[in-house]
Amino acid sequence: MRGTQTINSKGHLTIGGVDTVELAKQFGTPLYVYDTALIKERARQFKSAFSKHSGLKWQVAYASKAFSTIAMIQLARELDLSLDVVSGGELYTALKAGFPPERIHFHGNNKTQDELELALQAGIGTIIVDNFYELQLLNDLCRDRNQRINILLRITPGVEAHTHEFIMTGHDDTKFGFNLDNGAAEKAVRLAMEASHLDLKGLHCHIGSQIFETEGFVRAIQLIYEYIERWSETGFQLEILNVGGGFGIKYVESDHPLFIEQYVDKIVAAVTGESERLGMAVPEIWVEPGRMMVGEAGTTLYTVGAFKDIPGIRKYVAVDGGMTDNIRPALYQAKYEAILANRAGEQADEEVAVAGKCCETGDILIKEARLPSCSSGDILAVFCTGAYGYAMANHYNRLPKPAVVCRLCRTRRSDACCPP
């Protein structure tokens, strides 16, 4: 059990004191359920980890690509976080939620002219520039509008994080950013400093996702400073260093992520140490937690339906969702753990494969789930689905997207997650 998850007197899983079986009856399944208390605790932990370093400037930006709804963005605003968006759609959601535009950071490797114009019109705080095309386009748009914008340059440091190959973003062979070792980053710095309507404030890097160690962050920071030292004649001043996100969470028992404070302490130590080595002022440090902020706060509820037992091979238990509401197992071979929400206290005495209902052989949510012997109508709760479940949901086979419920929804339905 995680966060505010408990088992009540009926033997039902509860989240935040709410019976998940009753939620399934009220809203149907599949259903995403969010524990907002855990999201608030994660934000508090990040703030506390940075605040103990006196004199340090910092920002914690929620990476909204992990889970973006009006209610979630409103919660990020209430928690005094900054916000990372990666598309015009995410920016639109943030603005509709009333998020302060000056605290919005706009990412993306192929921002369109319309998206950049929306960002400029809204007066967002920072655009993270990803390539030379965007650098020129953004300066031209700002010149036409007689407007200036703060930018960071996304740098590819050449560090491979210990994660799945499809979610590694800091190594050399990636679509993101300006590479350090081939001169692209230095050229981008020079062009940005010469640009008439762009204010280069610093650099950004993101080395991957679901990272369980700090060595990758430290090495990326060291490499960036090594190159900054080489760029001394450019006059570039590092005011902001954004080291991205990627902090891992505990999906299954074999996962061993670090505490938030451990990640932050190593990042701060590396930045301050490298700054002192070069005789530079310590820049403002930004991080972008997404999965770490919402991943463990989300639980998906399903209703068990059909079965297929292949003696000596495998037993399949089918549920009413699948790769349409959680594509990560098919895309990343992601692993999850689950229980029967309506029989939460019972012994798990059977190993089964939890199958989705899509017409795809690979639609398997959990290949080896330990559960009590299931019956049709049981409610299956899959844990840690708060990041990239709803965000990556799709209508394959014309299946509808599930609803989302959280504490905000139950008290402020008019502008919350759930569809009417």
247 secondary structure, DSSP code: B
Catalytic residue among 142, 359, 374, 409: 359
CA 103/CA 313 separation, integer angstroms: 53
Helix (H, G, I), strand (E, B) or coil at 120: helix
For the chain, counts of helices (H) and of strands (E): 12, 20
C-alpha count within 13 angstroms, C-beta hemisphere, residue 335? 13
SS (H, E, C) 264-288: HHHHHHHHHHHHHHCCCCCCEEEEC
Residue type, 340: L
Q: What angle do CA 309, 315, 316 make, to 5 degrees?
A: 100
pLDDT at 418: 45
Residue 40 is encoded by which pair of tokens? Answer: 């608030």
Give me the average pLDDT of each 10-residue run along the chain (420 residues): 87 96 97 97 98 97 97 97 98 98 97 98 98 98 98 89 48 82 94 98 94 93 95 95 96 95 98 98 98 98 98 97 97 96 96 98 97 97 98 97 78 41
pLDDT at 408: 52
Q: What angle do CA 395, 163, 126 make, to 5 degrees?
A: 70
Q: How many CB atoms lie within 10 A of CB 235?
A: 9
Do the beta carbons of residue 292 and residue 247 sit within 8 Å? yes
Residue type, 392: M
Q: What angle do CA 312, 316, 318 make, to 5 degrees?
A: 170
Cα–Cα distances in Å, from 48 out to 182, 284, 336? 38, 16, 29
Q: How many CB atoms lie within 10 A of CB 310?
A: 9
Q: How many CB atoms lie within 10 A of CB 377?
A: 9
Helices (H), 208-367: 215-230, 260-277, 291-294, 328-332
Reading phi first (left if > 0) and then psi (alpha if -120 to 50, else beta), residue 108 is in left
CA 155/CA 243 separation, integer angstroms: 10
Do the beta carbons of residue 136 and residue 115 sit within 8 Å? no
CA 205/CA 207 separation, integer angstroms: 6
CA 180/CA 227 separation, integer angstroms: 7
Beta-sheet strand order (sheet of 13-15): 5-7, 13-15, 18-19
Domains of the chain, with CATH numbers? Answer: 5-35+298-415 (2.40.37.10), 37-294 (3.20.20.10)
Do the beta carbons of residue 33 and residue 327 sit within 8 Å? no
Known active-site residue 359: yes
Do the beta carbons of residue 359 and residue 268 sit within 8 Å? no
